[in-house]
Amino acid sequence: MAQTAAEPVIRVKDVVVDLKANRILNGVTLDVFRGEILGFVGASGAGKSVLTRTIIGLLPKQAGRIEVFGIDVDELEGSDHRTIERRWGILFQQGALFSSLTAGQNVEFPMIEYLDLSPRLITEMAITKLEMVGLKPDVYRKYPSELSGGMIKRVALARSLALDPEVVFLDEPTSGLDPISAHEFDELILTLQRTSGMAVFMVTHDLDSLYTTCDRIAVLSEGKIIEVGTMDVMLASEQPWLKAYFHGARAQSDRQVAAKHLQRS
Amino acid sequence: MTAGTLTLIGDQTGGDRLGLAAAGSWTAEYAQVLESRLEAATRADPRVKNVAIDAAAIDRLDSFGAWLLERALRTLQSQGRQARLVGLREDYRGLFDKVHAGTQRLTPEPPRQNRIIATLESVGMTMVTVGDDFVRLAEMAGWLIAALKRVAMRPLTFRLTSMVNHLERVGWRAVPIILLITVLIGAILAQQGIFHFRKFGADIYVVDMVGVLVLREIGVLIVCIMVAGRSGSAYTAELGAMKMREEIDALRTMGRDPVEVLILPRIVALIIAVPILTFFGAMAALYGGGFVSWLYGGIAPEVFLSRLREAISVETFEVGMIKAPFMALVIGMVACVEGLQVEGSAESLGERTTNSVVKSIFLVIVLDGIFAMFFASIGM
C-alpha cells in the first residue's frame, strides 16, 4: 500500500453532468492521489455531492472521462464493476445504514457479499472494525434506530472500511456532529488513513477538518474546479469566493482556534 | 500479488520453542486459508512454551491479516505460552496496534429459552398486542371526537384543502378500478347463478340473487377491501414516513395537533368517498350482472329490470349504504393507528403497512357480520 505517492487512484477529466436540464458540472478535472486526503469544498448546491455520486456511478455523466484505479469506468462491464466497488468505501451523508440490520450486520454485510470467510472471522472482523472507529463492541447488536447521530456516522464509517478499501469517499463526515465529536472524527480519519494508507476523498464544509486533516483541497464553483492545492495555496488565493470562504468571519475565528491549538501542542 | 503463507521454520521437535514464518499477502482474499493455517499452528504440541511469528516477509497486510495474527497471539497466550510477533514492517505497525487495541469484549447474548415456553410466550404476547390494538383504536376514536369537537367550535380550522386533496386521491382516482372490479364481480355472480339455477329451471331468480347480494353485501365489501388495500395502506405509509422523519413531532411542537391536521381530513375524506364508491360499485355490479344474464342466460334487459324492481326495495339499497361510512371509519382509524406506530426502520414501515391492510379488512368483515345481525333483528 505504500506505493509511489504520485499515482492517481481517481482521475476525473472534463466531466459534464446535467440534472433535469440544469448543467451542474461543466468540465470538472481532478485527480486524487494514492494515500492523500483530499478535501473538496464549494458552496452549498455547487455540485459537490453530484461529483461524488458521479464518480461512484450513481449518476450518469454527459461527457468526460472517469478513471478509477487506472480503469475507465465506462469500459467496465457487469462483474468488473464489483471488483472496483470492492476497492472503495463510501460514507453517505446520513450514514445510510440498513435500518433492518444491526450495526454489526451492517458492517458484516460487505464482507459477506464479497469475501468467503468463516462466520466467526466475519463477526470478529466486524467487532474489530467497530472498535477501530472508536465504538464499544456492544454496539454490534444495536439497531441504527438505537444509536445517536455520531455513533451512526461511526458505524457507517466502519462499514465503508469493512473491506479495507483503497479509497474512501466521505460525504460531509462531520456535519451534524458536535465540535468534540467532529474533532474526534477528524482524528479518527487521520489515524485510519495513516495506518492503512488509503486515499480519502472528503466533501466537507468544516474548516477545522480542512485544517487538521486534508493534504490538499479542491474548490468547486460554478461547475468547475477553480483551485486545487494545499491550505497555503487556498489562503494565498486571490479568488473572491475563496477569499470569502477562508478569510470570512468564521474562518478567522477558526484559524485563531487552530493557531492556539498548534501553540499548545 | 503473492498469496499469504504461513510456514514452520526450523525443526524444534522436543524443544519448547516454535518458529512460524508469515509471508506474502496477508489480506482478506487469503484470510480463509490463513485462518485454518493459524488454527492448526495454535494446536501445537503442549510442550511448546515459546512461539515467535516472523512477519518480516509479509508484503501486504490489511486489517483482516492483522486481526488473524493478533487472534493467533491471543489464543497462544491464553494457552499459557509465550507468543510474540517479530519483524513486522514499520508501516504496518500502526494498523497492527489499532487491531491489537481492540477488546472484542461482547456481552454474551441472553440464553435461548425453552422452545415450548418461547412459543407460549409469543402466543401470549400476540394476544396482548391484540388487546393493545383495541385500546389504541378506542384511543384514536377519542382523539377524533376531541378533534371534531374543536373543529365544530371553530369550523374554519378544519383542513378543507387537505380533505379535498385526499378525497381526490381516495375517491375520484379510485373510481376506474372500483368500477372494473365490481362489473366483473357482478358478471361472475350472474354467470354462476344462471349456471346452477338453470338445473332447476329457476334462471330468473338469478336477478333476485344478484340484486340482493350486490346491494346488501358484496358491493360494500368489495369496495371496502379495495379501499383498505389502496388507500388504507397509503395512509399508513404516509403517516409512518412522517413519523420516521419526525415531521409529526415537528407539527406537535408548533402547537398543531397531528390528529386535527393529518388524521381528521384523511378519515373525513374516506367517510365521504367510500359511500360514493359503494354506490358506483353496486351500480356497476348490477350492470355487469344484467349484461351476463342477457348474453349468457338469455334474460332480456327489460325482463331483468322489471324482475329487479320486484326483488329489491329501497331498504335493500339502504342496508348496503348505511354500512359504508362505518366501514370507512374503521379503515381510516386502523390505517392511522398503524401509521403512528411506525418506528425507525424501513422494516417496521413495511410491517405496519401490511398490518394496516390485514387488520382493516378483517375488521370490515367483522363489522359486516355485526351489521347483518343488527339488520336481521330489526327486520331490515
| A217 pLDDT above the threshold of 50 | yes
User: Given CB atoms, is A132 within the 8 Å cutoff of chain B?
Assistant: yes
Nearest CA distance, A3 vs chain B (angstrom): 11
User: How deeply is A15 buried, as exposed, middle or buried, from its count of CB atoms within 10 A (0-12, 13-18, 19+)?
Assistant: buried
Rounded Cα–Cα distance for residues B184 and A45 (Å):
53
Q: What is the reported pLDDT for A152?
A: 86
Rounded Cα–Cα distance for residues A164 and A129 (Å):
10
User: Given CB atoms, is B101 within the 8 Å cutoff of chain A?
Assistant: yes
Q: How many residues does chain B have?
A: 380
B-interface mutation test, from A120, A138, A141, A196, most B Cβ less than 10 A away: A196
Q: Which amino acid is at B110?
A: P
What separation in angstroms does the CA of A221 have from each of A18, A20, A44, B172, B329?
15, 19, 10, 48, 54
User: Given CB atoms, is A4 within the 8 Å cutoff of chain B?
Assistant: no
Rounded Cα–Cα distance for residues B54 and B88 (Å):
7
Q: Which residue has the higher pLDDT, A261 or B77?
A: B77
Instruction: Inspect the interface and report whether the beta carbons of A132 and B32 lie closer than 8 Å.
Output: no
Q: What is the reported pLDDT for B173?
A: 95
Taking each helix axis as running N to C, give the angle between helix A240-247 and helix A249-264, from 0 to 180 degrees, rounded to the nearest 10. 50
Lowest mean pLDDT among A151-160, A173-182, B67-76: A173-182
Q: What is the reported pLDDT for B8?
A: 67
- Is 3.40.50.300 the CATH classification of the domain at B5-100? no
CB A90 within 8 A of CB A162: no
Q: What is the mean pLDDT of each run of 10 residues along chain B (380 residues)?
A: 68 67 81 82 75 80 83 82 80 79 76 86 91 92 92 89 94 95 95 92 90 92 95 94 89 86 94 96 94 93 93 91 95 94 84 94 95 91
- The two counts, helices (H) then strands (E), for chain A are 10, 10
What separation in angstroms does the CA of A230 have from each of A30, A213, A217, A249?
14, 11, 6, 21
Q: Which three cell numbers stand for residue B207?
A: 336477478
Q: Which residue has the higher pLDDT, A72 or A78?
A: A72
Q: Which domains does chain A have, with CATH numbers?
A: 10-87+202-265 (3.40.50.300)
Nearest CA distance, A76 vs chain B (angstrom): 22
Sketch the domain layout of chain B as residue ranges. 5-100, 152-377
Nearest CA distance, A91 vs chain B (angstrom): 19
ipTM attached to this prediction: 0.76
Rounded Cα–Cα distance for residues A30 and A14 (Å):
9
Q: What is the reported pLDDT for A2?
A: 41
Q: What is the reported pLDDT for B13?
A: 54
Q: What is the reported pLDDT for A93?
A: 81
Q: What is the reported pLDDT for A4?
A: 46
Chain-centre distance for alpha carbon B210: 36
Q: Which of A16, A3, A17, A10 is nearest to A71 (CA)?
A: A10
A-interface mutation test, from B104, B107, B245, B246, most A Cβ less than 10 A away: B104
Nearest CA distance, B337 vs chain A (angstrom): 21
Q: What is the reported pLDDT for A1?
A: 39
Lowest mean pLDDT among A75-84, A91-100, B307-316: A75-84
B-interface mutation test, from A111, A120, A121, A129, most B Cβ less than 10 A away: A121
Nearest CA distance, A249 vs chain B (angstrom): 32
| B38 interaction partners in chain A (CB closer than 8 Å) | none
Q: What is the reported pLDDT for A261?
A: 59
User: Given CB atoms, is A116 within the 8 Å cutoff of chain B?
Assistant: yes
Q: Which residue has the cell 347463478?
A: B193
Contacts of A243 (CB under 8 A, 6+ apart): A237
Contacts of B246 (CB under 8 A, 6+ apart): none
Range A210-228 average pLDDT: 82
Q: What number of C-beta contacts closer than 8 Å exist between A and B?
A: 88
What separation in angstroms does the CA of B292 have from each of B162, B201, B296?
41, 17, 5
Rounded Cα–Cα distance for residues B168 and B163 (Å):
9
| B37 interaction partners in chain A (CB closer than 8 Å) | none
Instruction: Inspect the interface and report whether the beta carbons of A100 and B103 lie closer than 8 Å.
Output: no
Task: Give the Cβ contact number of residue B367 at 10 Å.
Answer: 17
User: How deeply is A120 buried, as exposed, middle or buried, from its count of CB atoms within 10 A (0-12, 13-18, 19+)?
Assistant: exposed
Q: What is the reported pLDDT for B11?
A: 52
User: Given CB atoms, is B67 within the 8 Å cutoff of chain A?
Assistant: yes
Q: What is the reported pLDDT for A97?
A: 84
Identify the helix (H) or strand (E) that includes residue B192: helix B175-197
